[in-house]
Amino acid sequence: MLPNRRNGHSIRLVDQRSNNPNRNYLIAQNKVPQIIDNPNKQLRFYTTSPPSTSTGVPPSSRTTHRTESKKPSPDVTEQVQPSPIMIQERGHIYFFYRPKVEHKEAKSLDDVQRLEIVLTPGTVQLSAGRKDTKGKQQSTSKLNRLLVVPRKVLPPIKKTGPRNKHMAMIYGVSNSLQQLNEEFRKETYQTKTRGERTLEAARPVGEGVYSVVEHGRHTHLLYVLEMPSQIGEVQEAFNIEKEGSYIIAVKNPTMPPTPDSRLEASPAADTVPQKLLDKFEDRKWATQDLPDILNYPGIWLLLLGASDDLKQEFGENVKEIEDLEETDLKLFQKAHRNKKPLEEKLFDELRLNRKEFPVDPLVKGTWK
């Protein structure tokens, strides 16, 4: 049972699909799993964009005659250099999907119950307590996080037009991977109305490295996949790209949901320390200095699809992040002398038994 970080008590997750007392997570309200497990409920998020301001020249000051253009000075470049990024956290990221109850396998999104994401900070081989170029200490969090995306897919990344946005929720937090791993295993349980029910094991669909970085006045979740080597049918269905950038914002857990929103009040309001709540300054969303507040189950997270080309978006600033993938793969291959299949990396890192989990979605990109 996982301890409550604030008062030392344990909070038990009562899942609608199971009475198994061993499935304990840091969840504060029973109604949270109801939202997640109901695929017919679609979350809606409303936002008000700031009014656009015109930057055109007033008609009275416009000229109708041609003027001789001046040559730019040699030190002026037409291309705007990307603003620097500040790495706050990095580690491994894993994507899983869970088939619906009583489905032996999933053949499409219609057969999927939910998409799950695991973040394991600090697991990439880097020097401890490393600082970024601005001298700010990186997050040293050792808490592993399980996120659930109720809409079952990541927000698609669009090249033009307004960004797509989806909500995700911090579903479980633990310093023990073994406790989070219970969420992925096959389960059989009894119900009063339908008797014995079976929930098949989750399917791994992606594995790689991630970084949480501040960029300007907002925060990005960046990732680069190591597996699969090529995006397949299943990854495309979940909008999982080979690499991706998502602008993230955390909803203030003390703010009630709007009347038009289907989001429930956050169960994390009573567990988040006041010093973290103070960062919101009575605002509905926090966009900077986010890793610490992601360590509390029940926190709602907004994901906005930003880019599927990290170098194009961040320039050379992102080189260190992309190098993580290459370094991580080399360390695995060196440790096993290139004799172990790459798909074993996920199971080794998460301490899962490969025999319990179908690997076709991860290796071949096909449904299972």
Work out the average pLDDT over 126-146: 54
Structure tokens at 262: 């289907």
At residue 228, the pLDDT reads 93
Structure tokens at 192: 């009063």
Whole-structure pTM value: 0.73
Q: Is the dihedral of CA 350, 352, 355, 361 positive or negative?
A: negative
Q: Cα(341)–Cα(346) distance, rounded to whole angstroms?
A: 10
At residue 155, the pLDDT reads 94
Least confident of 18-32, 90-104, 177-191, 304-318: 18-32
Residue 139 confidence (pLDDT) above 60: no
Give yes or no for a contact between 244 and 325, defined as CB atoms under 8 angstroms apart. Answer: no
Give yes or no for a contact between 144 and 175, defined as CB atoms under 8 angstroms apart. Answer: yes
At residue 99, the pLDDT reads 96
At residue 258, the pLDDT reads 60
What's the pLDDT band for 46 if we cut at 50, 70, 90? Answer: very low
Question: Which domain covers residue 162, as residue numbers?
Answer: 31-43+83-360
The verdict on residue 317 lying in a domain is: yes
Give percent above pLDDT 70 in the chain.
66
The verdict on residue 103 lying in a domain is: yes
Residue 27 confidence (pLDDT) above 60: no
Question: Cis before residue 228, ω within 30 degrees of 0?
Answer: yes
At residue 202, the pLDDT reads 96
Q: Cα(303)–Cα(178) distance, rounded to whole angstroms?
A: 27
The verdict on residue 56 lying in a domain is: no
Q: Cα(205)–Cα(12) distance, rounded to whole angstroms?
A: 29
The verdict on residue 58 lying in a domain is: no
Residue 47 confidence (pLDDT) above 90: no
Work out the average pLDDT over 60-70: 43
At residue 130, the pLDDT reads 38
Residue 282 confidence (pLDDT) above 90: no
More confident residue, 160 or 210: 210
Work out the average pLDDT over 183-198: 91
Residue 204 confidence (pLDDT) above 60: yes
Q: Cα(302)–Cα(225) distance, rounded to whole angstroms?
A: 21
Given the DSSP bridges, would you call strands 144-149 and 112-121 parallel, antiparallel or unpaired? antiparallel
Whose tokens are 């009347």? That residue is 259
| 115: β partners | 97, 149
Residue 92 confidence (pLDDT) above 90: yes
Give yes or no for a contact between 95 and 208, defined as CB atoms under 8 angstroms apart. Answer: no
State residue 152 phi and psi, 5-degree precision.
75, -10
Residue 75 confidence (pLDDT) above 70: no
For residue 77, what are the contacts with CB-CB under 8 A and spacing of at least 6?
A: none
The verdict on residue 3 lying in a domain is: no
Q: Cα(352)–Cα(331) distance, rounded to whole angstroms?
A: 20
More confident residue, 105 or 327: 105
C-alpha of 290 from chain center: 13
At residue 168, the pLDDT reads 94
More confident residue, 132 or 360: 360
What's the domain count of the chain?
1
Residue 242 confidence (pLDDT) above 50: yes
The verdict on residue 253 lying in a domain is: yes
State residue 349 phi and psi, 5-degree precision.
-70, -35
Residue 83 confidence (pLDDT) above 50: yes
At residue 318, the pLDDT reads 66
The verdict on residue 275 lying in a domain is: yes
Residue 58 confidence (pLDDT) above 80: no
Residue 195 confidence (pLDDT) above 80: yes
The verdict on residue 52 lying in a domain is: no
**Using alpha carbons only, what angle is made at residue 184 by residues 157 and 358, rounded to the nearest 5 degrees?**
80
